[in-house]
Each structure stands twice: as C-alpha cells, then as structure tokens.
Structure 1
Amino acid sequence: MKFMKLGSKPDSFQNDGNNVWYVTSELATDVIVNVGDSKFYLHKFPLLSKSGRLQKLVGSTSEGDGNEIDMHEIPGGSSAFEICAKFCYGMTVTLNAYNVISTYCAADYLEMYETIDKGNLVYKISVFLNSSIFRSWKDSIIVLQTTKYMTSCLSEEPKLVNLCINSIASRATVDVSKVDWSYTYNRKKLTQEIEPESELNEGIRSRTVPNDWWVEDLAELEIGLYKQVLVSIKNKNLVSNEVIGEALKAFALRRLPGLNRGIVHSSDIPKARSVVDIIAWLLPSEKGCVSCGFLLKLLKMAILVDSGEMVKRELVKRIGQQLEEATVEDLLIKAKESDGETEGVIYDVNVVHDIVREFTVGDQNGEYEESGRTTGGILSEASKLMVAKLVDAYLSEIAKDPNLPLGMFVDLADMVSGASRTSHDGLYRAIDTYLKVKACTIYLMHRTLVYLLKVLLDKYLSKQSGVASKLLIF
C-alpha cells in the first residue's frame, strides 16, 4: 500500500481518555475546537496559519479566556480533524488509501489552500493522489470505496471520484500482457505458461494473466460505485462482453450470498433488490454472455425480493433466448406464496410459461440466427427439440403438485407441440403422473381430466400406435 508522511516534528498530541485532546507545550492553549464528542485544546497561531475557515471563525468569536469553536459538521469527524491539526503544527502524519479521502475533505472544509499558505494540505494530498494512489490498482479501489462515507463533501466536487473511477477502469481495460501488479483471483487455478526453452532451463516460468483478472477486486465495491466503474469499463469498448458477464456473476455471488440457494433474509431484501436490479441493467445485450443457469438464479432472486416488472421481463426475455441451456432444476421456480416448508409446493408455472413463449416467439421471428444458433435450420430444430424435452421433463416434476391447474399443464405442453420428438415417453410420463395425483385428490373431475389429456396425448402421439392406449383410465 502506498503512503505519504508529512511533517517532521514528533507527535505531541495527548488524550486524557475522555475524548479530550491537548498538545503538550509550555504555551497555554488559546482555542478549543469541538468536533462531535471530542474536544481539542489547541493554539491559534499554527491553526490559523494554514486554515482559512478557522481564521474567519476565530475572528468572529468573542474574546475571553479562551475561544471555543464548534465544528461538528467537518467531514471525517474528529480523526480527520486530528490529522489536519497535526499538519498545522508540523507534526508527522501518515496518509494512506484508507484515510486520504476523509483527510482531503476535512482539509477542503478547513480551507487549507495554497492561497493561505504554500505547500498546504489540500495541494499535498492532490499530489499524493495523482502520483501514487491513482497509479496503484488496489489503492484506487480502497480509496473509491471510502468515498461512500464522504458523499456530502464529494457531491459538490465529483472530480475526485471520477479520477478514481477512471484510474480503475483504465487498468481493468489494459492489455493483460501489461498487468504487472497484484490482484485477487480465487475463482479457478491459474495455468502456468512455459517460457521458451532457453528460459525454461533457468527455471523461469510466467503466470498467465486471465482476461477477467479484475472482477473479484471490483466485487468488493459498494453497489452504486460498482455500477459507475463497470459503466466506465464498458464504455471503453476494450473488454469483451463475456468478461463483463463474468464480472457481474462474481459481483452477484459476492453481494447475494443466498443466490445459489434462492434465499435472502428479510432485513437484506432492499439491498438485494438493488443488486439484482443493477445487475439486470448492466447485463450485456449480446446473447450468451452469461449462462442460462445464472440468469434463472437471478430471476428467482428478482421474484423473491419483488423487483420491478421491467427487471423480471428483461430476465425472462434473456432466458428465453438461450432456454435450451437450462435444466429442469433451473426451471423449478417456487411460487412466491410458498414458504418452501409445506407439503405440495406450488411452482411458478406462469413464469416458465412466459420463458417458453419468449423462446418460441424468438424462433418464429428469426431472432436467433445472428447468434449462430441456426445453420440452414439444423441448429434451430435441435434447439427446439432440446427445449421440448426440457418442457416434458419439467411437466413431469410439476405434475406432482396436487394444486396445479389443468389449464396451466395443458397450455405449457401445447407451446412446444411443434417440435419433432424422437420419443414421447417424457410427455407420457408427465400426463400419467398428473392423472394419478389429480385422481387421488379430486375424484369427481377424473372423467374430464382423462378426456382432455387423452386429446392432448393423441395430438402428440398420433403417429405412435398403441401408446395412447397406455393412458391410465380410472
């Protein structure tokens, strides 16, 4: 971590243990500065020689045994003021990525500018930021993260935040061959790239830098700052959409710890909703940049935290565009009313219906051709067959739900009726299961169920003699 030391005098600030600070000196203090719960017994001359604001405040304070000034609104609080005060005395202070922003905001508030004294604190911090902090990958991230605590100070001067964002985005988009700084990467074991034989004989190896080397470090950023950085990275058009997708996945796993299990604590719902909404907004427009499984997990979370309809519709559309990649488990989306603990869990079939409709509508409109999914119609037919098998298997699972309405079952099956299956066993099993479950619970409806489902079965199996006769008649 980069740091900068200022001043040369020893630190003579003392604390009596009750948030009361004073300077050990033969000279009596002549000003008291109140910052929050802390009191600072100081001397006017060193403070006024550096701070324009204190010059004004002391000048307007009535004379007495000691002037007392309240500065409760100073950014960074007592810790930042302490650094500024020590700088005024010429005492040694150390600035680093964790305290430089709060100190900068405090110095700016105190008007510690060059017009007051040459080599003043605001100027020195600016030099430190530009010459050291913004040249360091991890320090830039730490500094940007600390700006969230200084919003009131930096909102009027966003230049500092923008410089930090640009610094991070510039390094994230640099050619990987030029990455020579440390970064966090625990997502998979890095491969070792063997150097030419002459260097190999000397035992030298070079570690390959992955294209997504930066995604874990950025996942530590607060959601609003993360959004700004990723937008800046995307706008540079130097990073592939696949890497952007990996970045969003890493951020989701970091900020939504219950993503894989589809759970979230009630107290975390507002924050989780913000994360889901922003990830959905940042998703690359190109198809296939993130897996269908990840999109479905994101949709489940969006339903759980009650994201807006626009967010859910966007996720449904994207899932429909690559539905053949999904698994049955992916599609088992629990209805929001279910707490997951009662028997006969009800699944949100309407959402799956919308997803399948997006797939069929996209196929009819030829929206998938440009993504390489069609070659003379062969891959398109393969995709439709995969989705039909997926829906058959999904119907077999939801058929176990005694609360599933007949209309929902039939409508979903009918949506993939155009697919030329090589076998209809999956659909048969789904219908058989549905009839058995319903016959046990609603006996009086069995004749209607048998009739309607036999019609559906005959529609699919008209070319397969004898199969329809297997239908269980109660």
Structure 2
Amino acid sequence: MKFMKLGSKPDSFQTDGTNVRYVVSELATDITVIVGDIKFYLHKFPLLSKSAHLQKLVTDHNDEIYIPDIPGGSVAFEICAKFCYGMTVTLNAYNVVAARCAAEYLGMHETMEKGNLAYKIDVFLSSSIFRSWKDSIIVLQTTKALMSLSEELKLVSNCIEAIAVKASSDVAKVDWSYTYNRKKLPEENGNDPNWNGIRNRSVPKDWWVEDLCELEIDLYKRVIASIKNKGIVPNNVIGEALKAYAYRYLPGFSKGVLQCGDLPKYQSAVATIVWLLPAEKGSVSSSFLSKLLKACIVIASGDETKEELIRRIGQQLEEASVNDLLLRAPEGEVMYDVNTVQKIVEVFLLQDHNSEIESVEEGSELQEPRGPGILSDATKLMVAKLIDGYLVEIAKDPNLPSVKFINLAEMVSGIARPSHDGLYRGIDMFLKEHPGISKSDRKRICKLIDCKKLSAEACIHAVQNERLPLRMVVQVLFFEQVRASTSSGSSTPELPKGVKDLTKEFLYGAESGWVEALTSCDHLPSLCSDLAHIPPPDTACCECENPKENWLCLCCKNVFCSRFVNKHMLQHYQQSNHSLALSYSDLSVWCFSCDAYLDAQLIQELRPVHEVAYILKFGEVPPFR
C-alpha cells in the first residue's frame, strides 16, 4: 500500500479522557475547536495561517468555534491540525479521502500558504494512489461515506478512470498484485519436473474481476461502464466479471435459489447486472442468464429487467439446458412458470420471422441471396429437443392446465426433427399425470406426434400404451409395417388380419378415439375435376413457403400450411369457401364446412386422390384397396 508522510515534528497531541485533545506546548492554548463530542485545545497561529475557514470562524466566534459538519469528523480534523503544526502524519488509501475533504472544508489551499495540505494530497493521489491498482479500489470504497464532496473534488471519477485504465491494460504489462483464486499451476505446487525455480506464469484476461467484487453496486456499475466504454476488454470477460459479482453479492445465486434478505438491495443489484450485460450474443452463458431470471422472479426485480432477460435467453436458447428453463411459478399456482418459457421460445422463433421481413424490405438491394431465416436447422433442432425435455418435466405437475402444455408443444411443432421420441415421452408423461384430460385435448396433443418418426423402442411402448387413442396406436402399427416392408424390399406389406381390420376402421377416419369420420358429404361436387395429377407432398405453402406437412386444397389444388404454422389453409377456406382439403401429414381428408373428417376409403370420389397422395408420399400403392 502506498503512503505519504507529512511533517517532521514529533506528535505532541495528548488525550484527556475520551472527549478532550490538546497539544503539549510551553505556550498556553488560545483556541478551542469543537468537532462533535470532541474538544481540541489548540493554538491560533499554526491553524489560522493555513485554514481560511478557521480564520473566518475565529473572527465571527472569538476563541471557541464549532465545526460539527466537517467531512471525516474529529479524525480528519486531527490530521489537518497536526499538518498545521508540522507534526508527522501518515496518509494512505484508507484516510486520504477524509483528509482531502476536510482540507477542502477548512480551505487549506495554496492561496493561504504554498505547499498547503490540499495541494500535497492531490499530488499524492495523482502520483501514487491512482497508479496503484488496489489503492485505487480502496480509495473508491472510502468515497462512499463522503460521496457528495468526493464527487465535487473528482475523487470518484479519477478513481474510476484509474481502475478502468488498469483493467483495460495489456495483460503482458500487468506487474502489480491482484486477487485471483483458481487452481494452482504445477509450478506453484512444486510438482513440475521442468521447473527451474523461476516463476513465469501468464496473467489471465480476467485478472481484475475478483478485486472489483469488493465494490458496492452503484460504484461497481460506474467502473464496469467505464471499462466497457473503453472498448478494449472482450465482452466475454465483462460477462465473467458480472457473473463473479453476482455470485459474491447475491446469496444463494450460484445454486439458482436466491435467499431473500435486503430486498431493495438485491433488486438494485440484479437490475444493474442486467443493465451492464454486453450487447453481444453469447457474451454470457444461458445458464447465467437463467439464474438472473430466476433471481428476478423471486425478488420481483421489475418487468423491464425480466423482459430483457427473456429476450437475451431467447436469442441463445439453443445453448440452454432443461434445468435453465425450470422457473418456479409464484406460490399457490402451478409448479413451473410455463408462460415465461413460452415468451422465451417466442423470442427464439421471431428471429427467423424478423429476418424474413428484413429480406423482403431490402428487396433488390441485397448483395447476396439470403435464406428464409437466420437460424440454422441444427439450431432449431437443438431447441426442439430442449423443449421436448422441458415438456417431460412440466408434465409431471398434476396442476398444469392442458392448454399451457399444448400451446408450448405446438410452438415448436413446425421444427422438423428426425425423431419424435422426446416429444412422445413428454406427451405420455402428461397423459399419465392428467387422466381426466378431455377427449378434444387428448386428440390435439397426440396429433403433434409424427408416428413415422418414432424409434422401434418408442413404437413398442406406444402400441401397448392404453393412454393413447386407438387411432394413433393403429398409425404406429401401420407405419412400422411400412418401414419394415421398405427395409425388406417388399412393395405390398402384408399385415395381420386384426391389424388390417383396425387400420381400415380407424386409420382412414372410421370410429376412433379422436373423431367420427363422415361417409358422405354435401360438398363433394366442389372437388376439382382433375385430381389424378396433384402436387407432391413436399410442396411448400404458396403463401408462406412453409416446406412440409401442408394441406392440399381438393377444389383448386393449391397447397397451404396448417393451423399450427400460419393457418393459410383455414384462411383460404374462409376467403374462397373451398371446403375440402387433404393433409399431406397423415393423408386424412377434412371438410371445413362440415367441420369433420371424411372417410377417404369409403367415399368413392375421394379414393383416387387419396391413393395418388399415398403413392407420392410413400412411393408405393396403399396396402388396402
């Protein structure tokens, strides 16, 4: 620690009891200075020659003066008084702020005497304190007690600048001490056989992080903001600093369970940390953002802070884990805060949507062709798997409303994934924990599963699962048989008679656990006259370019997306009154006017187009004709 000694005379201040200070001298004291409860019996000449304020007070109040509001109190005044007598005083990082503020209050400037106390302290600060890493931090901490005058004297701003400059220094030039708790290097343990006794370890980029954790939140905010403004320290290092501060400042934060104590203090800390987060995506981990969000919810930090965290997590959702999304709901409600997770997923999906709008707006000015969105298929797949895992966890809550589970599952239903095993596990768990679910909700949930994308193990489980609608069980059996025939090279797979009967009865719309299909319809005359030639199943929606599992209008042969995407098929019906449509997902036929499925096997007008669609989808004729 840096220090400065002033004066050369021995310290002759004495104490009489607890409230009296006096100077041992042959001369009688002729002035009494009262600071709080302390009385100082001193001499006018040494004091008045250096202090403009004391000169004025002596003129106005004779020989006894009161200065109850002097910064730093009696301790700081004693330092100033000893300086006036030429006695030895030692200034360091702990007392220099109080001494400087007291000198300012007493008017100890160069106009009174050359080399006065204020000037000497300013020289000490600029030449020593502000050049020392740890001293600058200590001094900044001590300004808290005298903030107003410290700000006026620029002690705070100079400290912050000194700290920010050092934190932004090239690590190769860092030769001062700092606090850094980490695993010891081999040479520090003496276990390195190549160690020659000379320690030459590199300085980590985040060497400054732990020392700044000693600052109060308001000063910490200003220091980090200054470091960020210099633009030298990488954003990920700034992120590590904020993480370290949160772990130190917020009890229980590292475990994701904030312990409520001084609520306003913690609310301010969380809001400040979020405000300081670098704008760059990925500068902090999703795990850290999740902990901040959990803390924000617990302490009710404010909607603005919460929305910012939701936005940031959503922008890098592919990096999150299921545990990151398990946000506890307020007491008295369901177990998990599913609404907030829905907002996070919405932010993630909007990234693609917004980029599509950008592409359209830029038009011919685009220099290079752009894809339909900024999110890669791999990124979307990671999020789909993440939500599948999250659905498994929230499904265990028996109080979770069906609509919340369904809405979240539907949000990612448009993301293509090679396997639906994870989604199946979540839905099966939900059906298990919610046996009283309505028939319509059961249908809506189970329709999200693509039976063709279930593994052999999942199929074995599904066909024995009494919680599933019978129609879905038959679909699983059917697609397993199709898959088996494809691998064996057979063009007409032969199913057992029982499965044939079930498939014929349920797969194409007969009585099932979902809905009763119609065997006739008044709207069949509106069918297109040429349904022998239809677009292939992978045709994109003619409105939004959604690439797969769309609907074919059987009245005009245009292809539109489902209600789980952008609802263009439904909008087409509402605008054109074209009632009949075939789903390229499961080859079912729906009449919008009747609000019902039609049995494509029994209705003569529909059988040809159904067979054509089957051949286009699977590359072979249907097994039942």
**TM-score w.r.t. structure 1 length?**
0.88
**Structure 2 residue 165 is the aligned partner of structure 1 residue 175:** no
Change (3 A) 1:378 1:32: closer
Q: Deviations for 1:388-428, whole angstroms, at most 9, x for unmatched residues?
A: 11111111111111221111110111111022223222222
For 1:47 and 1:388, the matched residues in 2 are separated by 77
1:47 matched residue in structure 2: 47
Shift, 1:189, TM fit:
4.3
Change (3 A) 1:285 1:190: farther
**Structure 2 residue 30 is the aligned partner of structure 1 residue 30:** yes
**Structure 2 residue 331 is the aligned partner of structure 1 residue 337:** yes
**Structure 2 residue 160 is the aligned partner of structure 1 residue 165:** yes
* Structure with the greater alpha carbon radius of gyration: 2
**Structure 2 residue 201 is the aligned partner of structure 1 residue 212:** no
Q: Deviations for 1:436-465, whole angstroms, at most 9, x for unmatched residues?
A: 2222xxxxx44x1x4423332223224358
2:393 matched residue in structure 1: 397
2:294 matched residue in structure 1: 300
Q: Deviations for 1:64-96, whole angstroms, at most 9, x for unmatched residues?
A: xxx221111111111111111111111111000
For 1:101 and 1:228, the matched residues in 2 are separated by 19
1:442 matched residue in structure 2: none
Do the aligned partners of 1:454 and 1:468 also contact (CA within 8 Å) in 2? no
**Structure 2 residue 374 is the aligned partner of structure 1 residue 385:** no
1:358 matched residue in structure 2: 347
1:153 matched residue in structure 2: 149
Correspondences of 1:113-192 after superposition (within 5 Å): 113-157=109-153, 159-189=154-184
Do the aligned partners of 1:461 and 1:468 also contact (CA within 8 Å) in 2? no
1:242 matched residue in structure 2: 236
SS of equivalent to 1:296: helix
Shift, 1:109, TM fit:
0.3
Change (3 A) 1:191 1:306: farther
For 1:39 and 1:287, the matched residues in 2 are separated by 61
Q: Deviations for 1:115-153, whole angstroms, at most 9, x for unmatched residues?
A: 111111001101101111111111111111111111131
**TM-score w.r.t. structure 2 length?**
0.68
Do the aligned partners of 2:421 and 2:453 also contact (CA within 8 Å) in 1? no
Do the aligned partners of 1:292 and 1:325 also contact (CA within 8 Å) in 2? yes
Q: Percent identity?
A: 63
For 1:464 and 1:100, the matched residues in 2 are separated by 72
2:283 matched residue in structure 1: 289
For 1:364 and 1:376, the matched residues in 2 are separated by 8
1:309 matched residue in structure 2: 303
1:107 is aligned with what amino acid? A
RMSD, matched Cα: 2.6
The unaligned stretches of length 5 or more in structure 2 are 189-193, 360-369, 470-625
**Structure 2 residue 343 is the aligned partner of structure 1 residue 347:** no
For 1:81 and 1:242, the matched residues in 2 are separated by 46
SS of equivalent to 2:397: coil
Correspondences of 1:375-454 after superposition (within 5 Å): 380-439=376-435, 445-446=436-437, 448=438, 450-454=439-443
SS of equivalent to 1:21: strand
For 1:85 and 1:226, the matched residues in 2 are separated by 34
1:307 is aligned with what amino acid? S
1:8 matched residue in structure 2: 8
The unaligned stretches of length 5 or more in structure 1 are 194-199, 339-343, 440-444
Do the aligned partners of 1:458 and 1:468 also contact (CA within 8 Å) in 2? no
Matched length: 447
Shift, 1:183, TM fit:
0.8
For 1:264 and 1:68, the matched residues in 2 are separated by 55
Do the aligned partners of 1:184 and 1:214 also contact (CA within 8 Å) in 2? yes
Change (3 A) 1:378 1:115: closer
1:458 matched residue in structure 2: 447
Change (3 A) 1:274 1:187: farther
**Structure 2 residue 262 is the aligned partner of structure 1 residue 268:** yes
Deviates more, 1:406-415 or 1:261-270: 261-270
Change (3 A) 1:154 1:117: same
Which structure has more relative contact order (CA 8 Å, sep 6+)? It is 1
Change (3 A) 1:215 1:191: farther
SS of equivalent to 2:61: coil
Deviates more, 1:378-387 or 1:250-259: 378-387
